[in-house]
Structure 1
Amino acid sequence: MNTDTTAYTTQPLIAAVSELENAATTWLCRELSKCSVTLVGPGPGGMKPLVDIALYASVRARLRPVDPVQDEILQHLRQEVERPAYRDLVVENGDFVNYYGLPYAAVVAMGEDGSVGRLVRAIVRSGVPLWTERPPHRILDVLFFLRLLGMSVDSRPDEVLPFSSLASNPNVLLVTEQETYAMTHTAMYATEFGQRRAVWPELALPDVRDLLDVLLERAVESGSVDLAAELVCSAICVCDARGLVDLAPFLELLASTRREDGSWPRYAAERSVPENWPRSHHATLVVALALAMVRRALEPGPYPARQVGSAGREAHRARVRREVDAVLTRGTAARSGARRESGGRACAERPLGDALSWVRPGRGALWRVPGADRHGWITALEECVFRGEVGRREVCDGILLLASWQDEDGLIRCCDDEQHHAGSTASAVRILTAARRQLAAP
């Protein structure tokens, strides 16, 4: 896999990744005693550290030969799945056997078995885990769990993938943190963490990569260590012909937020506050997972599995071009009418500059503008378009969002103040006219 990064060449990059990964795995191994079924309370949250370390171990075991870290985690998991309390949890929570059963599945993935296996397989054969209502990324979670056990079912990941938010071509400016996590899980489970070529629905895979790239940039800039690590994992999984991941900003985030003990906080702002152990454990674990996947991708061999989409590279931009043409027809006429009604007052032509402080030079960053400030947001979008950034996923989605604010009269309504509609519509027409020229370029 190639990497698009100016701060590192291949060998220093491998060294930097290895140093950070070793810090993470050392801390995780030191904290293994806290990942135990004996510490689980009445809710599922207490089980999460044990489940998380099991998922990490199962993926890591498939990426690289056994090493002392893997041996230590395997010994711990083997001990946990043989506890009577673990057996009770699996039986009592059969509808979520993919969650509670993951420590056992990890032991199987690492080449061993346990006495709880008969119970787990009996629960799966009952059908309960498969007909329990779940969103697509959780269904993919179940199917991945079953593949770890070597069990086949009628449902396949490729049948679920088209219904996921990741494959629905979402507007990146409207994607929430929770939805971003769902997308990362979709990419990881559908591709088995980069080891399986998924059958993608009718979409341009580069559009999916563009979406993940922008979300990764957003997570890094906001200091979300946990989410940034999951997005790096996803970007590796959804590896198309471009095959590029810009690792430098992510590694810089890790270097600046790492604690002295080798752990990471979920958010950069939490680095200097008292540690929230479950949050730090999960963040450190996904950091270790991302770094393990990056290191494997930098080594020779057929990893990650090359993903192939079904549509051309220009699919998303073509959608934006069609929307631009439709909105311009109505907007140009509305602008002329609004200017006549306003008597040509200055409000009809708003100057640039209202929101330029929200936009870094050379970058879109439209998600930084508060959603309530549509005036400033439109100005920021106008600046991005006139800088020639219209091919960028973030700016293209901004144009689609702008188009959605057009009313039946063709006016762009950005607030309840009627006097601003003409100015907003004038800005919108300038944006869309410039965008149409740039989108038409090869």
Structure 2
Amino acid sequence: MQVRVLSAQVLDAVVHRGRSLKSELAATLPRLSDPRDRALLEAIAFTALRGRYRYAPALRGWLQKPPGAGDGPLMALLLAGCAQLDALQLPAHAALAATVEAARALGRPHQAGLVNALLRRAQREGFAPADPAAAWPDWLRGRIEAAWPAQAPEVFAASAQPAPLWLRVNRSRIARDEYRARLEAAGIASTTDPRLADALCLEVPVPVAALPGFDEGLVAVQDGSAQQAADALGAEPGARVLDACAAPGGKAAHLLERDPALELLALEVDPRRVPRIEENLRRSGLYEPGTTGRVQVRVADATMPALWWDGFTFDAILLDAPCSATGVVRRQPDILLHRREEDLAALIQVQARLLDAAWPLLRPGGVLLYATCSILPEENATQVDAFLARTADAVASPLPAAFGHPAGVGRQRLPGEDGMDGFFYARLQKSD
């Protein structure tokens, strides 16, 4: 019953109070001591948000009167119940009983009968099929359809499905095939992709606690598209590299695992996110927080290099820019609730400022990889084209088809393609 109570509280905060699913789960999961309960809470929350475009209309149609202003917790609990009965296919008796009891625990004993009646109706009648595009706000759906008219239905469908679990094997500690054998010995099946030298894909995700050597840093969780950033950057051995927007640190760790001789500076403007970067780098075995040396993590604004840059140019710059995150909706379904059209204009301005600020820090002949987890041209191909038009010494360095569809001078992978997230890459070189 506690899992259902906490699920309803998380969903209420996300759906009705504009909170981030990631932050709500981070605060709530530690309250559950059993890993199975934590996994169930996550499953309910993600499934309810992904299926909300089907569940919410059915619930509104079944209610005799519209929910009131104070009924957010009730509607969140009903979404959790629908997710359990529908996509998660939990035993109906247990799901019903626990969810009805959760209504009482949430201080709503007068609505326990209503919860029971509505969920029993959901059990009997199920939910009508619906177009996954209905989950997207009109303004954003229109942009996706305009940008990718042939692929838009697949984008919407893939974004409504759970993602596989992609692992990045730490090649500085263990060979990928050796780690794959460890997974197999633990009863965990995985597949490889010829484009991803360090990746393993688990179609059936498992808790990270079940991954052999996870705590020792043998492996990390990172989507295949994000892993390709190291290949797209193509830093020379021992290069001086700037990761300009480093949180949560996975790409920086991957670069170091590929080449422990790199001199790497990882920047993050939000000090609350720096401990996560440091922990990810520490787990790689190639960085110790609090020390100075070849690898440094700093709180700094990449758009204001005068406040932190030492005057020495970089050989390579990774600019994984803040974006609309429209390529990772399957991992962050609350994006469709919280993203606003006015957000996009602000993000585009920040991306342009980051490009303009980073470019003077690059040595002649150096490379900058501009990347986003967006699938909107305004943040990607159009953004890069505008930068090239105003930057005389910047030239595009084409990437091969392994990185996705042609998109201006860059490449775009769409959500679900090759099992990966949506991601954009553009490799730019400074002329000598």
More relative contact order, 1 or 2 (CA 8 Å, 6+ apart): 1
TM category, shorter: under 0.3
What TM-score do you get using the length of structure 2 for normalisation?
Answer: 0.25
Larger proportion of strand: 2
Larger proportion of helix: 1
